[in-house]
Amino acid sequence: MDILIRRIILATDFSEASQGAIRYAKWISGALGAELSVLHVFEPSGWMVPSPYYYTPGFEEWVNASIEKTRQKGRDALETLARSLGEGTPTLFVEGSPGKEIVRVAGEQDTDLLVVGTHGYSGWDYLTLGSIAQFVVRHAPCAVLTVKPDSRSERDGDDVSTRSA
């Protein structure tokens, strides 16, 4: 029998919304014996500053130091998460537009399943903030499991493996 899911990538932004996705990815990979990797996309464009500020002496160095400090925090958080999922869990740290990079990495890694959390935005927030998960679903080269925030499971301490359909 050919196993359909051999490689899983969990894409995370370390937010509360990604906690459910972490649980699902861990459970599915364990149940299927699939390789699980953890991906974080650092988006440096969020640090873009209007050009007049660059005329202030020392400002550019401050911005660059802040970006590097935040980048390192992302790498550290990724390593911590990977260790919590099991010794030797591979990590992928890339920079760029999150949706595009998740799709690109999934293709390069020959991924069978992407697991991503959603923030559950609707209305104005959805329109103004966009949806990385929606982009990934539309463009991914593989199956995508989106996991929306579930305040009930967070509150009650539910385990994915004990839920009934």
CATH fold of 7-162? Rossmann fold (3.40.50)
Structural contact between residues 47 and 63, judged by C-beta atoms closer than 8 angstroms: yes
- Indicate the burial class of 114 (C-beta count within 10 angstroms; 0-12, 13-18, 19 or more): buried
Sorted by where each begins, the domain ranges of the chain are 7-162
Q: How far is CA 20 from CA 17, 38, 45, 57, 124, in A?
A: 7, 14, 27, 44, 24
pLDDT tens-digit readout, 11-33: 999 988 889 999 999 999 999 99
What pTM was estimated for this model as a whole?
0.79
pLDDT at 3: 67
pLDDT tens-digit readout, 119-162: 766 555 554 445 888 899 999 999 999 998 875 444 444 455 44
